[in-house]
Amino acid sequence: MPMSTNIDTANSAEKSTDDTNTDEQKSLLNILEDMNKGKEQLEDQRVAMFNILEDVNIAQDALERKYKELDVIESLTQQLGLSLKLNTIMSRISDSILTLYPTVTVAYIIAPFDSYDFSKKVYVNSLNSVGNQYIRELSNGLALSLSTVPELVKLKNSAKQWIMNTPEFSFVKGQRDNSKTAIPKSMINVPLVVPDTLVGMVNISSVDQDFFTLEVKRMIYTLISTSVQTIDRIKKLISAEHSRLQSLIESMSNGVVMFDADENIVVANPKIRSVIQKNTGKLSLDDIFSYFEQNLTKNEVDENTFVSLSDAVEKAITTTETVHIKEFPLGRKYFEIFVTPVYGDQKETAGGAIILHDITELKEIDRMKSEFVSVASHQLRTPLTAINWYVEMLQAGDAGELNKEQKDFLDEIYNGSTRMVKLVNDLLNVSRIETGRLKIEPVPMQLETFIKNIIHELEVMAREHLSTVLFVKPEKSLPKIAIDETLMRQVVHNLITNAIRYSTAEASTITVMLSQKENTYVISVSDSGIGIPKEVQGRIFEKFYRADNAREKEAEGSGIGLYIAKMIVEESGGTLRFESPNAFRTIKGEKEGYGATFFLSLPTTGMKAHAGERSLSNK
């Protein structure tokens, strides 16, 4: 055991002589000294170690905080990536700041990408409620920095002034509580400058005087600069879109003006400038309004329904609905005008757009077309009328007595000529209906009497065809209903004459029935004629279409009557349909048919009026 040997040695030394003891004591002292030194070193090391450990702890805290900050930055970047609206971006940034520093209040103002105008609103985002005093101070802070940031020289309207005088506050989070008397003791303002353009200003304030340490400031700048990069990306996207739109608007053949909530013009394309003959210089809505007022072709408008352009703009903004002016006569031109309100982020009206569509050429073509139709029909009718009148005079013996055969031949001429007149009238009517120029003027009338009169008129024709027309009246007589007599006569007349012409039985009966079904009056016309074969039922209302069995039965006919009838009924808000369940073609020798029933329904409120220009030719 070496240890015990050592001790033994020491003990033996003490027991030995004094001479040898001094040397030993010296060396022992040395050793003790060494040991003390070592102890001190150890202590130093322990302290150092402890210090290191403490440092590590501190670092870990900082690291954790850094992680949290990174998290915030990351999630902010993600959120920003999803958003294209400056407003949303700003509310996200302020949210992130609040996540890190829940005690602060964030206030910001924003300017749209394409202008240096701030929207006149201060957005406040805070987890706490703030009082009047607080808000006043932070707007002072905003205003102060607005007047010192060099980028703001470009501002068109003095943002500083409105922040000081007429600020409107909108709370993103938190609320106003005027019982709170706290005021901000420290604040920082960060302009949001996306290369070259100021898009906003953020103010972060705290009730704590020493809140904004270097570290906090650094963090806030990091957050905001991250956002600025995102905004820059978005701005590029938007400006690409904007310039695409801009060039589209520039090249449009329609005049386009867009204006903001203060009725300042934001966009005006060359077309609108050429319309109001102001190709250069600043353009205001008033310039446009006064041009429209001075150059309105007054004798072409109806004073009762006229809407001026300024009225239209006013109406669009107050009702937030698009206003449509069908025809605005301006000088020698005609414009169709749309005024549309444009909404901001908060669904508030942020201005509007005026679109001018030049319809001068359309009007001219329309005029030429109707003139052509009118002249053509006039030109066609003149010789036909001459033929008819002279035939009539010959028939009447005005040029001497005729023999039977001569009369017979004249009958043929007369029939042909009369058919031609009818065809011309039909063509004219089709043209009127198709161009929507048909005038429908309903007047209250007793349907019963109206139908009875038509049936009475057709009695002669029915007798010639060996048919009888039976009228089934409703049990209780119906109240008067507003109908356009000329038009409705044409429809009912057509239905009954068809029933007579296409009847097959030797003594057939045509039943005309008037009844009420809920909100409609129904006039039905049933016959026992040739019917309408299944395969052509879908085509029967087509213009100029005639079913084969109809051609076979009656050579005469243009195939236009039902087309016109359906158009008239539908234009006036009713319906016209038919049933012909068991119809078949008439084969030679086969005279029986199962007939067809036409149902004409009119709303009990009567025919819809239509302010067209033309009435129908009535034959």
Q: In this complex, which beta carbon is closest to other proteins, that of residue 350 or of residue 373?
A: 373
Does 302 interact with other proteins (rule: CB under 8 A)? no
For Cα atoms 499, 500, 505, give the angle at the middle one, nearest 5 degrees.
100
CB 152 within 8 A of CB 169: no
d(CA 255, CA 203): 42
Name the minimum Å distance from CB 370 to other proteins.
9
Residue type, 74: E
Does 384 interact with other proteins (rule: CB under 8 A)? yes
Does 396 interact with other proteins (rule: CB under 8 A)? yes
Q: What is the DSSP string of 398-437?
A: TTS---HHHHHHHHHHHHHHHHHHHHHHHHHHHHHHHTT-
Does 176 interact with other proteins (rule: CB under 8 A)? no
Does 392 interact with other proteins (rule: CB under 8 A)? yes
| Residue 20 in tokens | 């040898």
Name the minimum Å distance from CB 447 to other proteins.
25
Does 23 interact with other proteins (rule: CB under 8 A)? no
Q: In this complex, which beta carbon is closest to other proteins, that of residue 192 or of residue 440?
A: 440
Does 14 interact with other proteins (rule: CB under 8 A)? no
Does 385 interact with other proteins (rule: CB under 8 A)? yes
| Residue 545 in tokens | 């279409």
* Residue in 123, 127, 77 with CA at minimum distance from that of residue 100: 127
Number of residues that bind other proteins (CB under 8 A): 27
Does 389 interact with other proteins (rule: CB under 8 A)? yes
Q: In this complex, which beta carbon is closest to other proteins, that of residue 536 or of residue 616?
A: 616
Torsion (CA) 227, 232, 233, 234 in degrees, nearest 10: 90
Residue 507: other Cβ atoms inside 10 A: 8
Name the minimum Å distance from CB 432 to other proteins.
9
Name the minimum Å distance from CB 380 to other proteins.
9
CB 235 within 8 A of CB 199: yes
Does 382 interact with other proteins (rule: CB under 8 A)? yes
Q: In this complex, which beta carbon is closest to other proteins, that of residue 207 or of residue 380?
A: 380
Q: In this complex, which beta carbon is closest to other proteins, that of residue 64 or of residue 485?
A: 485
β-partners of residue 189 are: 203
Annotate each residue in 558-597 with x if it binds other proteins (CB under 8 A) or - if it does not, as one string: ----------------------------------------
Does 619 interact with other proteins (rule: CB under 8 A)? yes
Query: Looking at 390, 541, 584, 594, which residue binds other proteins (CB under 8 A)?
Result: 390
Name the minimum Å distance from CB 494 to other proteins.
17
| Residue 509 in tokens | 């009966």
Q: In this complex, which beta carbon is closest to other proteins, that of residue 467 or of residue 617?
A: 617
Annotate each residue in 434-463 with x if it binds other proteins (CB under 8 A) or - if it does not, as one string: -----x------------------------
Fill in the DSSP letter of residue 535. G
Name the minimum Å distance from CB 402 to other proteins.
16
* Residue in 484, 490, 475, 477 with CA at minimum distance from that of residue 449: 477
Q: In this complex, which beta carbon is closest to other proteins, that of residue 404 or of residue 619?
A: 619
Phi, psi of 227 (to 5 degrees): -65, -40
Does 610 interact with other proteins (rule: CB under 8 A)? no
CB 554 within 8 A of CB 529: no
Name the minimum Å distance from CB 425 to other proteins.
8
The region of 45-53, 88-96, 373-381, 598-606 touching other proteins under the rule CB under 8 A is: 373-381
Report which secondary-structure segment, H or E, holds 26: helix 18-82
Name the minimum Å distance from CB 327 to other proteins.
16
Torsion (CA) 40, 42, 44, 47 in degrees, nearest 10: -130
d(CA 444, CA 215): 86
Does 401 interact with other proteins (rule: CB under 8 A)? no
Show Cβ contacts of residue 321 under 8 Å, excluding neighbours closer than 6 positions: 315, 341
| Residue 98 in tokens | 């609040």
Q: In this complex, which beta carbon is closest to other proteins, that of residue 361 or of residue 392?
A: 392
Residue type, 594: Y
Annotate each residue in 415-434 with x if it binds other proteins (CB under 8 A) or - if it does not, as one string: ------x--xx--x------
Residue 166: other Cβ atoms inside 10 A: 8
d(CA 420, CA 487): 21
Using CB under 8 A as the criterion, which residues of the chain lie in contact with other proteins when the complex forms? 374, 377-378, 381-382, 384-386, 388-390, 392-393, 396, 398, 421, 424-425, 428, 439, 612-615, 617-619
